[in-house]
Chains A and B, each alone.
Chain A
Amino acid sequence: ETGVTQTPRHLVMGMTNKKSLKCEQHLGHNAMYWYKQSAKKPLELMFVYNFKEQTENNSVPSRFSPECPNSSHLFLHLHTLQPEDSALYLCASSQQLAGTDNEQFFGPGTRLTVL
């Protein structure tokens, strides 16, 4: 498997459930990102990790909890979500966080539906 992979591809959960989204990149990149993509809205940056350290938390509610155990894996733990959290969650990675090697490679996304 090459590039950026995400699992699951689709997830339906109730508001009281706890679930996790997984992202893995096979590109040897050092930076990883979580984005939320809702209909008719710009891509919303949620979290950024650089060399496993969180560098950005874009005012994301605490019901979303990221985890980055190493530079290749990124998780998004979900609990007590709201229906308005239903969206496509995209993971991305880039070689570096800054400088010229900043091109972001996106995963296929997880389509999340909160009932």
Chain B
Amino acid sequence: GENVEQHPSTLSVQEGDSAVIKCTYSDSASNYFPWYKQELGKRPQLIIDIRSNVGEKKDQRIAVTLNKTAKHFSLHITETQPEDSAVYFCAARESGGSYIPTFGRGTSLIVHP
């Protein structure tokens, strides 16, 4: 089955800096890569996703890049703000089989004002 590794587990930045979270996956057949944000005490919410026919996708201050050859994808947050502080989860979904996303362990992002 799919295996997703996520790094770092904790990321601390100053307000205004950029933050990058990286994930690798094992199944070359995976074709859908969502990112979820979970604020403290709240539910995970989808913030951005990318499909395997696209190399990069941007939405305001967040962007996701995908390198299919290397089987890794990254979340980029620019001009970080304290409200970006949360746990971020990446996931990968296989194109065949169960279609259930496999999640990474999560990255706790702390943005210091």
Contacts and interface: CB of A to CB of B under 8 A. Distances in A.
B4 interface: yes
B105 interface: yes
Contacts of A40: 9, 105
Name the prevailing secondary structure of the A interface residues. Answer: loop
B46 to A, nearest CB: 6
Contacts of A99: 99
B99 A108 contact: no
Interface string B24-66: 0000000010101000001111100100000000000000000
A104 B100 CA distance: 10
Contacts of A43: 44, 89, 103
Interface string B64-105: 000000000000000000000000010001000011111111
Nearest to B96: A98
Contacts of B103: 42-43
B45 A56 contact: no
Contact of A97 (B32, B45, B89, B99): B99
B100 A107 contact: no
B101 A104 contact: yes
A48 B106 contact: no
A45 interface: yes
Nearest to A92: B44
Interface of A: 4, 33, 40-43, 45, 48, 55-56, 90, 97-99, 102-109
Given A42-B102, A90-B43, A109-B43, 19 more contacts: A4-B43, A33-B100, A40-B9, A42-B4, A43-B103, A45-B100, A48-B100, A56-B98, A56-B100, A90-B44, A97-B99, A98-B99, A99-B99, A102-B101, A103-B34, A103-B46, A106-B44, A107-B43, A108-B43
3 closest A-B pairs by CB: A98-B99, A43-B103, A106-B43
22 contacts: A4-B43, A33-B100, A40-B9, A40-B105, A41-B105, A42-B89, A42-B102, A42-B106, A43-B103, A48-B98, A48-B100, A55-B98, A90-B44, A97-B99, A98-B99, A99-B99, A102-B93, A106-B36, A106-B44, A106-B45, A108-B42, A108-B43
